[in-house]
Amino acid sequence: MATRKLAKTKTKPNTLLEYRKYEKRHAELGQDRPKLTPEEFEQYDDELLDLLALDDDDMTDEEIVRIQELEYLLIDTE
């Protein structure tokens, strides 16, 4: 019996739903922004969540700028 190798990247269960919401935001608001692949979306979303979990007082200027970049790419409207 052949076994299928699992992909090295594990996608979160809600990633597809979140990516579809992103695609809708991109169609409505993101004509001037690059369209992310599902993998890029997940990577940038995870990075954004990690940065947002940091204490505001300990954030560097580079981290603040990176948050802004990620919010722009993800078309984060919240």
In a domain, 68, yes or no: yes
Q: Is residue 75 a contact partner of residue 25, using CB atoms and an 8 Å limit? A: yes
How many structural domains is the chain composed of? 1
To the question of pTM greater than 0.95 for the whole model, the response is no
**Using 50, 70 and 90 to split pLDDT, how confident is the model at 15?**
confident
Q: Is residue 75 a contact partner of residue 26, using CB atoms and an 8 Å limit? A: yes
In a domain, 21, yes or no: no
Question: Residue 3: its pLDDT value, please?
Answer: 37
Question: Residue 11: its pLDDT value, please?
Answer: 57
Question: Residue 78: its pLDDT value, please?
Answer: 73
Q: How long a stretch of residues is the chain?
A: 78
Which residue range is the domain that position 55 belongs to? 36-78
36: closest CA among 48, 12, 51, 20? 20
